[in-house]
Structure 1
Amino acid sequence: MKNVFPEPPLAAFRRDCNLQDILVHKKHNRIFFRVHNRSGPCGAQRCAICPYMMEAEKFRDTTGKSYNVRNEVTSKSPM
């Protein structure tokens, strides 16, 4: 085995379940601690986009049609 694995293998472990994991299911955490649908700045100090982002729950396009924001959208949200 030393010829195949010259370095000793690295063992990684998962953390054990804590009391919150046992008492509260992940699905309920998403329901109760969900961030409301809105757009706004991320709040990072060195973010270049945050000064230009406005907080909003709705927005309008160039034709004047109004749309609701479906998820939380910040400057760190993926495109």
Structure 2
Amino acid sequence: MQRSGPARRRAMSYADPLDAIDGAKSEADEAGHDLRGFTRRTGSFGYRFEARCHTCRETVTVARVNAGWDYSRPIDSCATEAS
């Protein structure tokens, strides 16, 4: 199956975690997700930011990757959008 739209965007690393959060939020919005806010999670891995879709419960994660920040890809369409 050939994917189109937000999930086919080229991977990009952000210098600022807030820019990565904005990018993730924008792509999730285009996919029909209802993210209500990101929370900071801390552990032995360092820290990351997570948000969960209010309708389908899918999680989007923003984390440090190499020298920058990036979010989990691809962001699929919200499950409730398809039904």
Normalising TM by the smaller chain, what interval? under 0.3
Richer in strand (by share): 2
Q: TM-score, normalised by structure 2?
A: 0.21
Taking CA–CA contacts closer than 8 Å with sequence separation of 6 or more, which of the two structures ends up with the larger relative contact order?
2
Q: TM-score, normalised by structure 1?
A: 0.22
Richer in helix (by share): 2
